Chain A
């Protein structure tokens, strides 16, 4: 499954990093502690978080995630969006809460 596919199925908004929309998704990870994400997210995961700080994209890049999804309609900081564009890692947004989004994505990836 590609990032573009989940955008369509989950009705996600693309905030930045359009270059990476064809990234292949191999799994998912949900966490708001960046220290935890640095230690536990896998390459190719979609990372679900409510953090909007620029460090999110730095960690996303370091760990080579497929995409980042920010929940609850929270607005990403401007420099977070800029870094998403620079890195070419899609930064996506949804009005859904973490629980609902993680559940839906889990189901899609395991169908």
Chain B
């Protein structure tokens, strides 16, 4: 069994709040520099930058998990990941259907473009990606399950855009694959306070918006290889695969 460093929450140039420097090459190079083995691409309500980062990652030896950070109707941020592009595209179609028609104002919120390995612009999202989609957290979870993806509520104790801020506590019928707790919280303290969460694997990530932030926080995972299926096993403590440390 080997150990891998995973930073599974970051924004690219596509997120309005993501720096324009966050291109596929810059992200992958920074991950390599910081010794991060697996990165998760999680732009707000869009998966459209994933494929290009994945390609660069393949060339340079960084595993890239493709997904999005979805803003549910309740304004809860949830990370989602999918194991192949067929499923990722199906989820993109779901996002396209449920994102409201509110135009982005690039001057105010930032640009929403996705780019290739040469930093050439491939497309622009016209709708504001930081809006909430019109689906509840339960509906988003169901869609992710239907596509056999991973569903991970992000920074669950943050005072905004989190399960605890918006919904008071983790809905009892939601069964996330893991939960994200940001570095400013003491995980042990929080789990003792919210014992209902002890059944879930905790992840820590950088939530990077700028290259310098990539890998400042990460999760150490023990598994056979850096694949989606192995990672799923680790989140569920199957066959000795497990999360061993939050940094």
- Name A residues whose Cβ lies closer than 8 Å to a Cβ of B: 33-35, 37-38, 51-55, 58-59, 77, 79
Contact = CB atoms under 8 A, between A and B. Distances in A.
A79 B173 CA distance: 11
Contacts of B173: 54, 79
B175 to A, nearest CB: 15
Contacts of B167: 34, 51, 53, 55
Most buried by A among B167, B169, B173: B167
Q: Name the prevailing secondary structure of the A interface residues.
A: helix
Q: Count chain A CB atoms within 10 A of each CB in B166, B171, B173 and give the residue with the most.
A: B166
B138 A55 contact: no
A106 B74 CA distance: 26
Given A51-B74, A53-B138, 6 more contacts: A34-B169, A35-B165, A35-B168, A58-B168, A58-B169, A79-B173
Given A77-B136, A77-B138, A53 B165 contact: no
A51 B164 CA distance: 14
A11 to B, nearest CB: 26
Given A53-B136, A77-B138, A35 B164 contact: yes
A59 B168 CA distance: 8
A58 B172 CA distance: 10
Nearest to B72: A53
B171 A55 contact: yes
B158 to A, nearest CB: 10
Contacts of B166: 33-35, 51
B137 A53 contact: yes
Nearest to B157: A35
A35 B165 CA distance: 5
Contacts of A51: 74, 166-167
A54 B74 CA distance: 11
B138 A34 contact: no
A58 B170 CA distance: 11
